[in-house]
Amino acid sequence: MRSLSTFVSLLVTSTLALAQGMPAGVPVKGTPVEVQGQPMQGGDMQMDGPQDGAPMDLPPGFDKVEPLSKSWTKDETSADAVAKGQALIDGLVKAYTTPVAVQDKISLTMKIPGNDQTQDLSIGFGPNNSAMLTVPGMQLTRLGDDLYMEVNDAPTKYLKVTKAGTLSEVMASVFGGAGMPLPELQLRGGDASKAADAVGSMFVASPKVTGFRAGKDGSPDLVLMSGEGGGEMQVSIDPKGGRLAGIEYSAVPPGAPAGLRIAVNMKVASTAYDTNLPTPIAFDAKGRKAVDSPDKLQMSLDTGGDAPDFKLKTSDGTEVSLASLKGSVVIIDFWATWCGPCMKGLPKLDEFAKWAAASGKPIKVFGINTMEEDEGTADRMSKIDAFWKKKALSFPTLVDADNSISKAYGVQGIPFTVVIDPQGKIADVHMGLVPTLVEDLKKASEASLAAPAAVPASKG
């Protein structure tokens, strides 16, 4: 889900960075890699700095976002109006579950100061629990209990997971609970009690209906919803089909100073079909390899494939090549001095290295320093050597001065740990900080040592 997830995260991080006077879009060193690229639920967004109620000036280029309720009259927010609005929101579930097939084409615009961003996506539901979500760079397909994920950056493989449940439930399980700003995912699930949360909880915490405004001359009816912390949204509902026509959000990130709101606008073109979508939902593996986790889909390394060769120097100047280590299991761990999770992971790697040394088995462990701000500088080696000695780790670190080896291994975030078997093949890969790293490395190392060596094919 990286494309849409990053899109959502950018909205929040850029806005909060501006509110704190930091340049938007600049990565913060030490950010835990385990949460990078994950969309933030309304209750998950936190920030340091001025607290709610503190005076503040909006940053340059930041247009003030007014509360949506400012234009609503007392009659439109009366108890009678609220009841009408609630009936429309509750009716969304029936409107999305009754048709055999539904397709929504969505344009999602997030107003980031000086850089509004729009992303077009499509979500379709067909008979027999089939569904398809298309986002630039990625596509999800659901057929029965099988979920398939395709990513443009990984054309040779696809994710396949078999799991019962609604599409929303399965996605939450597969992607670690990560939310998506697409109400249709839950509305098609058929639980009317969750309709309000489905419509707005991504950007507005605990939303409730607070108003209704009838459309004129066939235009959509409007439902006003408000949430904890001052967030609001205006939901447009097509009077003909009772499905979404759009949602306008005026969201307040929890912990943000008074007066800071972000605007999100979702336009929806929804069509229902009596039998099936014009193009029935299907999936073709096309000779690609199936993987069973999103991490494996993102990795450029494939288990069983050749490990990219390297020839690097340790921090004290000793040259080491992968070719020279053939016959041993080799563990390499990419890290950087600014990486917080790396600092937590290196002691775990040191624990494993001490176990490997005590075992007497042919297992070699190396750190690989990469992605430093002072890459290519003359004193890089001496700085890393001093840093490594201060940490008093029992295994050596190599220095990837120009980041070429991290690129060859497809490293997108650190820590990134690779197990290479005695024949130079990829045996296992770990992305991010792994609590069970020591046991995982022991298991992968012993399995690699126990596996029979590949026999070269005879010639002639």
Q: What is the pLDDT of residues 162-192, one digit of tens each?
A: 999 888 888 888 876 555 778 998 899 877 7
Q: Are 91 and 235 within one domain? A: yes
pLDDT (0 to 100) of residue 446? 95
User: Pick from 206, 238, 273: which residue ends a domain?
Assistant: 273
Most confident of 213-222, 299-308, 375-384: 213-222
* pLDDT in the model for residue 100: 97
- Whether residue 289 lies inside any domain: the answer is no
Which pLDDT value is given to residue 114? 60
d(CA 24, CA 112): 9
Close Cβ partners of 445 (under 8 Å, ≥ 6 residues apart)? 329, 331, 356, 361, 363, 419
Say whether pLDDT at 23 is over 50: no
The mean pLDDT of 348-371, rounded to a whole number, is: 96
Query: Does the pLDDT value for residue 434 go beyond 90?
Result: no
Highest mean pLDDT among 56-70, 180-194, 280-294 belongs to 280-294
Residue 47 pLDDT? 32
Domain assignment present for 291? no
Residue 71 has pLDDT above 70, yes or no: yes
Mean pLDDT value of segment 7-11: 44
Task: Give the strand order in the sheet containing 426-431.
Answer: 319-321, 311-314, 397-399, 363-369, 329-335, 416-420, 426-431
pLDDT at 256: 61
Asked if 81 and 198 sit in the same domain, the reply is yes
pLDDT of residue 62 exceeding 60, the answer is no
Pairing of strands 289-291, 157-162: parallel
- What value does the mean pLDDT take over residues 197-222? 91
In the prediction, which pLDDT does 440 show? 93
- pLDDT at 45 exceeding the cut of 50: no
- Regarding predicted confidence, which is higher, 168 or 215? 215
Measured CA to CA, the distance from residue 93 to residue 98 in angstroms comes to: 8
- Please check whether residues 357 and 235 belong to one and the same domain: no
Q: Are residues 34 and 72 in the same domain?
A: yes
Is the pLDDT reported for residue 77 higher than 90? yes
| Predicted local distance difference test score (pLDDT) of residue 264 | 87
Q: Do 247 and 303 fall into the same domain? A: no
Which of 273, 308, 339 marks a domain boundary? 273
What is the spatial distance between Cα 222 and Cα 243, in angstroms, rounded to a whole number? 12
All residues at 6 or more sequence positions from 117 whose CB lies less than 8 Å from its CB, including other chains: 7, 10, 11, 109, 110
Residue 311 identity (one-letter amino acid): K
pLDDT value at position 57? Answer: 53
Q: Tell which of 273, 291, 324 closes a domain.
A: 273
- Among 8-12, 311-315, 344-348, the minimum mean pLDDT is found in 8-12
Domain hosting residue 268, numbered range: 2-273
* Assigned domain for 129 exists: yes
Q: Are residues 125 and 40 in the same domain?
A: yes
Q: Residue 4, class by beta-carbon neighbours within 10 Å (0-12 exposed, 13-18 middle, 19+ buried)? A: buried
Number of domains composing the chain: 2
Same domain, 256 and 364: no
CA distance 230 to 278: 42
Please give the pLDDT value at position 244: 97
Radius of gyration of the CA atoms of the chain, in A: 26
- Claim to verify: residue 334 and residue 238 sit in the same structural domain: no
In a domain, 189, yes or no: yes
- Rounded to an integer, the average pLDDT of 261-282 is 93
Task: Give the separation between CA 277 and CA 124, rounded to whole angstroms.
Answer: 8
Place of tokens 């999305």: 96
Q: What does the pLDDT average to over 11-36?
A: 36
pLDDT of residue 413: 82
Is residue 343 classed exposed, middle or buried when 0-12, 13-18 and 19+ CB atoms within 10 A define those classes? middle
Residue 346 lies in a domain: yes
pLDDT of residue 14: 41
Domain contains 281:
no
Query: What is the Cα–Cα distance from 239 to 399, expressed in whole angstroms?
Result: 64
- Could you tell me where the beta strands, DSSP code E, fall in 274-422? 289-291, 311-314, 319-321, 329-335, 363-369, 397-399, 416-420
Report the predicted TM-score, pTM, of the whole model to 2 decimal places.
0.65
Which strands, in side-by-side order, build the sheet including 289-291?
205-213, 221-228, 232-237, 244-251, 262-273, 101-110, 117-125, 131-135, 138-143, 146-151, 157-162, 289-291
What is the residue whose two structure tokens read 């936190």? 46
Quote the CA–CA distance of 384 and 367 in Å, as a whole number: 11
What is the average pLDDT value for the chain, to the nearest integer? 82
The residue among 62 and 348 whose pLDDT is bigger is 348
In a domain, 280, yes or no: no
- Based on the fold, state whether residues 267 and 350 are members of the same structural domain: no
Q: Which residues contact 73 (CB under 8 A, 6 or more apart)?
A: none
Give yes or no for residue 50 having a pLDDT over 60: no
**Contact at 8 Å (CB) between 432 and 413?**
yes
What is the per-residue pLDDT for 15? 40
Mean pLDDT of 64-85: 94
User: CATH number, domain at 183?
Assistant: 2.50.20.10
**Do the beta carbons of residue 231 and residue 263 sit within 8 Å?**
no
Angle between helices 340-359 and 437-450 (to 10 degrees): 40
DSSP 3-state percent helix, strand, coil across the chain (nearest 5): 30, 25, 45
Percent of the chain, pLDDT > 70? 80
d(CA 82, CA 225): 9
Mean pLDDT of 187-213: 87
pLDDT band at 433; cut points 50, 70, 90: confident
pLDDT of 321 higher than 90: yes
- 234, 346: one domain: no
Q: Answer whether 240's CB lies under 8 Å from 219's CB.
A: no
| Token output for 405 | 């080896």
pLDDT at 332: 97
The confidence score (pLDDT) of residue 295 equals 72
Average pLDDT over residues 276-301: 85
Residue 98 clears pLDDT 90, i.e. is over it? yes
Please, are residues 383 and 412 in contact by the beta-carbon 8 Å criterion? no
pLDDT digits (tens, 9 = 90+) for 236-251: 999 999 999 999 998 8
Q: Are 398 and 322 in contact (CB under 8 A)?
A: no
Q: Which residues, including other chains, have CB under 8 Å from residue 450's CB and lie 6 or more apart?
A: none
| pLDDT score recorded for residue 155 | 80
Question: Is there a domain that residue 140 lies in?
Answer: yes
Distance (Å, whole) CA 163 – CA 409: 31
Shared domain for 224 and 340, answered yes or no, is: no
Same domain, yes or no, for 71 and 124?
A: yes
Q: Which two tokens stand for residue 228?
A: 């904890």
Any idea what the CATH number is for the domain that residue 305 is in? 3.40.30.10
How many residues can be counted in the chain?
Answer: 460
Alpha carbon distance 206, 201 (integer Å):
6
